[in-house]
Amino acid sequence: MPDHLRALVAVLFIASIVFLIARSPACQGAMAEADFRRRRNLWLTLTLLVFLAHSFWFFMAAAAVLLAIAGRREPNPLALFFFILFAAPGMGDEIPGFGLARQVLTLNYPRLLALTLLLPAALALVLDPAAKNPAARWLDRLLAAYIGLNLLLQLNLDTFTNTLRYGLYYGMDIVLPYYVASRGLRRIEHFRDALMAFAVAALVLAAIGAFEFAKGWLLYSTLDDVLGVSWAYGGYLQRGESLRALASTGQPIALGFTMAVACGVFLYLRSAVASRSAWLLGMGLLLLGLVAPVSRGPWLGAALGYVAFVATGPKPLEPLGRLAFIGLVAAPLLFASPLGDKLVASLPFIGSEANDTFVYRQQLLEMSLDLIRQHPLLGSFDFMKYMEDLRQGQGIVDIVNTYLGVALTSGLLGLSLFVSFFLAVAAGILRALRAAPSREGETALLGRVLLAILAGILVIIFTVSSITVIPIIYWSVAGLGLAYVRLAAARPVPAPSPAPPSPAPLAGFKA
């Protein structure tokens, strides 16, 4: 049997088990049973298609029809988008121009989801006055300024046609996820549904990643050849003796990033999952998925995100002290175990595994800072030609730091707009939390979780460029943060207590 067919059997078997176990907890307090069944069946159908199509464009055409049909029956388009985001790898190909141009644009699976699910939802939201989000007014302008700056810089070096093409990419990759997330979720039930959809999709991804790590077999690695496309991701990577899992994300750190975000989402869903054992089982699986890529940036981001979550809760000193005590007790035991040697070997600077990655990062940082000093305000869109010495075996120069990538392409002005946008979202969430009458309750829990996830993201993207699903997730989280600010501002105001009755007038005086 061909390798991709054996992989299909493994993927379907793993996913079916996860869906079977997750159905009851997911549907008890977050997702309608009919929605779960429809989304699960679409996930399985898309997986069958991508493995059996043997043609990338046949898969995309068939998937477009299925997604268009599913989108018309979907009450929460963002939830469906999250549920099936990882059903297929993000590989893409150019739509030819048929003589009018060399190509129309490059279309990949996430962009197909954006066009078929998020674009109709966004158009409906634009026409709905109730969907306006006052909290997003200034953030929209910041985002528009960031995108506009990049397009102007692109136009300075490129043709108008190609700049227009990049404008479409920004629309599909950034604007649509952000806009639908920030306007489409208006009630706590909408958040619960969308985040449970993300969690279920991440649980399937975690199980596949854990399988890949344990078996040394990447289940999606042959799909680009089968579909007849070229993809820069999806290959085998080792760290020491361990295979780094990818699942459908294409890169180990992209899988780790997704798992770190999903662990934060699962903290919120504790109130929606009635069974404590089911919730612990799910969190355990996500932690396995976090370990499987052997990526240290997501480990650090997940840990700092959890600390932020605890620190914003009611009476944070006690849980923080308990967390520190557990760490002090567990660390010596962990390092004394057989796993300790592997953990030490993987630590930055002192470990023996993959020290070349740190040398590469150091060289990249030095060269990038030199280029930024030469072009401080607006950067240099053609910076790659100065970095040929850093080209790796895969034939790419990997800018393993999103902030550096932004500063190189759009200078310190672009970096300021990018960072200010996410800091403003975080500040809005924090203000809403401080204005809350209590840190208890589901709405406050949601705010704490979104703030913690955003903190973790801002740490992790310091260690990775914005590749595959990473930017889709962080722009979506930003949109969720703004939707939360509106939700918190719309909380019902307690009715004032009735005024006490006026005292009877004293004798001898007229009222």
Q: Residue 242 in 3-state DSSP?
A: strand
Closest CA to 86 of 463, 471, 468, 456: 468
Q: What is the DSSP string of 450-489?
A: HHHHHHHHHHHTTSS-S-TTHHHHHHHHHHHHHHHHHHHH
pLDDT at residue 356, as a whole number: 55
pLDDT digits (tens, 9 = 90+) for 98-141: 655 667 789 999 999 999 999 999 999 999 998 888 888 899 99
Name the pLDDT band for 495 (thresholds 50, 70, 90).
Answer: very low
Name the pLDDT band for 333 (thresholds 50, 70, 90).
Answer: low
Closest CA to 436 of 423, 426, 445: 445
Q: What is the mean pLDDT of residues 277-301?
A: 95
Cα–Cα distances (Å) from 281 to 201, 260, 276, 478, in that order, read 15, 16, 9, 28
CB 382 within 8 Å of CB 157: yes
Between residues 343 and 509, the one the model is more confident about: 343
pLDDT at residue 349, as a whole number: 46
Q: What is the mean pLDDT of residues 25-47?
A: 96
Name the pLDDT band for 337 (thresholds 50, 70, 90).
Answer: low
pLDDT at residue 322, as a whole number: 67
**Mean pLDDT, all residues of the chain:** 88
What tokens appear for 271 in the block? Answer: 């109130």
Q: What is the mean pLDDT of residues 357-383?
A: 83
> How far is C-alpha 117 from the geometric centre of its chain's CA atoms?
17
Between residues 322 and 451, the one the model is more confident about: 451
Cα–Cα distances (Å) from 443 to 427, 480, 489, in that order, read 17, 13, 11
pLDDT digits (tens, 9 = 90+) for 391-403: 665 556 678 899 9
How much of the chain, in percent, has pLDDT values that exceed 90?
69
Nearest-angstrom CA–CA distance, 44 and 11: 9
Given a cut of 80, whether residue 428 has pLDDT beyond it is: yes
pLDDT at residue 75, as a whole number: 95
pLDDT at residue 382, as a whole number: 75
